[in-house]
Amino acid sequence: MTAAGTELTLRHPIERFTLDNGLRVVLAPDRSVPVVAVSVYYDVGMRNEPEGRTGFAHLFEHLMFQGSANVAKMEHARLVQAAGGTFNGSTHQDYTNYFEALPAEALERALFLEADRMAAPAITEENLRNQIDVVKEEIRVNVLNRPYGAFPWLQLPQVAFDTFANTHDGYGSFVDLESSTVDDATDFFSRYYAPGNAVLCIGGDLDVAETDKLVRRWFGPVGGRDVPPLPPTGEPSPTTVRTAVVEDALAPAPALAIGWRVPDPVGDFDTYLGTVLLAELLSEGDASRLERRLIHDDRIAIAQSSYVGLFGDPFDVRDATLLTTQVHHPAAVPADRVMAAVHEEIGRIAEDGVEPAELRRVQARIEAQLLQQADSVLGRTLAFAAAELIHGRAELAGELAARLAAVTPEAVQAAARGLDPGTAAVLELRPAGGRP
């Protein structure tokens, strides 16, 4: 690691322990501001959903905000906001999280709220039906009635992968959502929301000894249960090109998405970092390779982006994963021309490599983003929690900027060589009624 890279390491103290019920606890004290963040990461996401229950991980996230044994519906929100705090939750491919950021004196309130719904969320017929309707409306707004709403995040995986875990619609089909039952929800909770399947991460202005006592007081009584095995999400790498065409009645212009399988984000992390920087080098900023080639030089695209991971966060996902290049282009420009230009630019990196100065510019950009995220207690706590759950080391979140600074031009060149045009997944979107 370079000297500059060493300076980028965030040396926040990390304390960890495990309760008798299996709950993993990570404490990240920082007494500089009177704020705490509380996050609970459950090791269950879209890729855990069984066939016939697409969208269930996201639906259950909604249910967790509908009250619990000692907290009435809407009371969680009221109690957090009354203390001057904020809260939210989100569903990802490999986990679901819930979190609060509050003044330090409200720490125990947040712990009580999270422990209560970990023990006994209010899973009722009324709450389930109510939240199914909410999720359906969310799908209508975000996917069905929005141009490019499913492109490419819901559509490209169906081309790129083979297994149900990786190909199915994580937002959920209306048929699957509407047929969900209270028994399904109860079973899902019992299976995946066990304390041993979760990480509790608390950061900010906290006393370690006192927080240890509070965690044991509120989470210790939550009953332990067996923890399910991780879903087998890895797949053999493709050996041929895979293609598909979709139509979008709302889209004003065609679009193209190209996805390549990338190294294992956990098991081959150092190699994977080269791919993360390659995506940045391809598309981030006016000086990026594809921005210059597609938009400024050839003028064959309207917009372009490249990213690793389904949601564009490369550090919170397990294998199997894609680097995706997404291009929106005029109707007069054939998709094949756009695709050829993308492959040519990647081929140039694979053949000629990258200059150290170009790579350093890209490294500086992503390092700045990571350090900015770490400025807030909440951002830092969420990053620690994700790193603990996915990689088994919360400390990795503080090392990411330094690890990226140490990636060599040769590693990025090797990543480009891995993006073989002969194994890409290609999804072409055409406006409905548009010419082929």
Secondary structure (DSSP) of 23-59 = -EEEEEE-TTSSEEEEEEEES--GGGPPTT-TTHHHH
Residue position matching structure tokens 């998405």? 257
Q: 242-431 domain in CATH 3.30.830.10?
A: yes
Closest CA to 60 of 179, 177, 230, 221: 177
CA distance 323 to 375: 28
Tokens (6 digits) for 434: 């548009």
Question: Could you tell me where in the chain the CATH 3.30.830.10 domains are found?
Answer: 3-219, 242-431
**CA torsion, ordered 306, 312, 313, 315, to nearest 10 deg:** -50
Tell the CATH superfamily of the 3-219 domain.
Metalloenzyme, LuxS/M16 peptidase-like (3.30.830.10)
Per-residue pLDDT tens, the chain, 436 aa: give them: 444 445 666 777 899 999 999 999 999 999 999 999 999 999 999 999 999 999 999 999 999 999 999 999 999 999 999 999 999 999 999 999 999 999 999 999 999 999 999 999 999 999 999 999 999 999 999 999 999 999 999 999 999 999 999 999 999 999 999 999 999 999 999 999 999 999 999 999 999 999 999 999 999 999 999 999 988 899 999 999 999 999 999 999 999 999 999 999 999 999 999 999 999 999 998 889 999 999 999 999 999 999 999 888 899 999 999 999 999 999 999 999 999 999 999 999 999 999 999 999 999 999 999 988 888 999 999 999 999 999 999 999 999 999 999 999 999 999 999 999 999 999 999 998 644 4
**Could you give the strand order of the β-sheet that contains 86-91, starting from the edge strand earlier in sequence?**
15-18, 24-29, 198-204, 35-42, 96-103, 86-91
How many other β-carbons are positioned within 10 Å of the β-carbon of residue 420?
17
Q: Respond yes or no on whether the N-terminal peptide bond of residue 152 is cis (omega within 30° of 0).
A: yes
pLDDT of residue 374: 86
How many other β-carbons are positioned within 10 Å of the β-carbon of residue 355?
10
Tokens (6 digits) for 110: 């947040």
Q: What is the CA radius of gyration of the chain?
A: 23
- Under a CB-based contact definition with an 8 Å cutoff, are residues 170 and 54 in contact? yes
- Under a CB-based contact definition with an 8 Å cutoff, are residues 429 and 249 in contact? no
pLDDT of residue 213: 98
